[in-house]
Amino acid sequence: MASINYAFKEISCKIVFYGPGLSGKTTNLQYVHLKIPAKSRGELISLATDQDRTLYFDFLPLDIGKIHGFSTKFQLYTVPGQVYYNATRKLVLRGVDGLVFVADSQKSKMDENVESLQNLADNLGEYGYSREKIPLVFQYNKRDLSLLNSVEELQQALNPKGYPHFESVATKGVGVFDTLKCISKLVLDQAKRKELFPDRKMEVVEADKISPERTPSPVATAGQATEAAILSPADAPTPTAQTTVVEEETVPVAEKRTTPREVAQENEPEVGLKVEEVPQKEGDPMVQPPRQESPTVISWSAGKSGKRAKGRGFFLWRLLNKLLNR
């Protein structure tokens, strides 16, 4: 989770590049390290094997400078992509504030992409993190190779919920900064909502709930235009981002409340309770089976969900007792 230091007026956020082996996660960081001026970044640290495969993580600190009085820092991490290193991969996810899923666009790699995405969901689940609360951006890498899956196929298989996505050629830098800018903005928006402005009422809704006229324009088109100028115009990626954060959005609540206490909790905007209506979609690898049981998910915390179940049980138990006493 983000570290917010009011004494030093400093925010530090952790962004993790996830994805299957050899999809280009480290290459993303290497390109960022190469292009960002030395005053705004630290050294790129790679804990790699002798064959230059990531063993534990790559780490690149970025100093964005002051944003509205707060010195803002990002820590970019990659995970080891190979299936074998799941133990270390899971450790890197600890305290993650934002995720970039780097998928390999080649047809032959589709199964590995799906498996890695499922592994991400599993590992987040093991930490008790709610997938819906962590900003996520997809990057479809290696768009310059032949025998590729189309973006539509990749979207259908990996991103049916329509998180922001970018096409990229990480070795040439195409799409790298667009991805980074998008995830940075989502992460800081979230940090701001949670800690800097706790009295601000905001809701996160699904992308498909945003009406077309309210959908913000794609992020980082300026960066893409510059990249297109560096490469050939034909290589310019199409801006495809859809921002999923909407301010002051009200979301219908379909589920019936059972106790007054829960209703009271619902009515307190300061505590940051988010109600998200998640339409059931088959084949979405990010949604874990237990969460598909109900079409409405109340995003609160594990503890509160527990109390909710306990509350219902208690109510039924009292009802049963009353009947038996009669």
Partner 1 sequence: MKQEDLVIYEEQIEKIEGALKRLIKDAQAKCVLLVDKDGHLITRQGFTQSLDTTALAALLAGSFASTREIARLVGEPEFSVLFHQGKKDHIHITLVGERTILAVIFDDRTTIGMVRLYAKETSEDLERILSLAHREEAMAKPEGKTDRGSEFSTSLESRLDDIFSEQP
Contact set with partner 1 (CB under 8 A): 1-9, 12, 14, 35-37, 40, 42-43, 45, 47, 56-57, 59, 61-62, 64-69, 72-73, 75, 77, 87-88, 91-92, 94-95, 127-130, 133-134, 173, 177, 180-181, 184-185, 188-189, 191-192, 194-198, 200, 220, 222-223, 226-227, 230, 301-302
Min CB(190)–partner 1 separation in Å: 10
Residue 80 CA: distances (Å) to CA of 21, 89, 101, 323? 7, 6, 13, 59
User: 74 near 110, Cβ under 8 Å?
Assistant: no
In contact, 168 and 176? CB cutoff 8 Å: yes
Closest approach of partner 1 to the CB of residue 234, in Å: 18
Q: How far apart are CB 52 and partner 1 at their closest, in Å?
A: 19
Minimum Å distance from CB 51 to partner 1? Answer: 20
| DSSP of 252-291 | ---SPP--HHHHHHHT-GGGT-EEEE----TT-TTS-GGG
Q: Around Cβ 130, how many Cβ atoms within 10 Å?
A: 17
The nearer residue to partner 1, 148 or 287, going by C-beta atoms, is 287
Whichever of 6 and 314 has its CB closer to partner 1, that residue is 6
3 or 215: whose CB is closer to partner 1? 3
146 Cβ partners below 8 Å, 6+ apart?
A: none
Q: Which is nearer to partner 1, 47 or 253 (CB)?
A: 47
298 half-sphere exposure, CB direction, 13 A CA radius: 20
Cα(56)–Cα(61) distance, rounded to whole angstroms?
A: 16
Looking at beta carbons only, is 129 or 311 nearer to partner 1?
Answer: 129
Nearest CB to partner 1, comparing residues 120 and 191: 191
Smallest separation, CB 130 to partner 1 (Å):
6
Report, in Å, the least distance between residue 167 CB and partner 1.
16
Q: Which is nearer to partner 1, 20 or 223 (CB)?
A: 223
Q: 285 CB contacts (<8 Å, ≥6 apart)?
A: 114, 117, 118, 121, 157, 158
Instruction: In angstroms, give the least distance from the CB of 322 to partner 1.
Output: 37
Tell me the closest approach of the beta carbon of residue 133 to partner 1, in angstroms. Answer: 6
Q: Which is nearer to partner 1, 25 or 73 (CB)?
A: 73
Smallest CA-to-CA distance from 167 within 212, 225, 104 is with 104
Q: How many residues does the chain have?
A: 326
Q: 157 or 174, CB closer to partner 1?
A: 174
CA 110 to chain centre: 20
Shortest distance in whole angstroms from residue 240 CB to partner 1: 17
Distance CA 90, CA 317 (A): 40
- How far apart, in Å, are the Cα atoms of 22 and each of 31, 67, 230, 238? 15, 35, 25, 24
In the chain, DSSP finds a helix count (H) and a strand count (E) of 8, 12
Identity of the amino acid at 93 = L
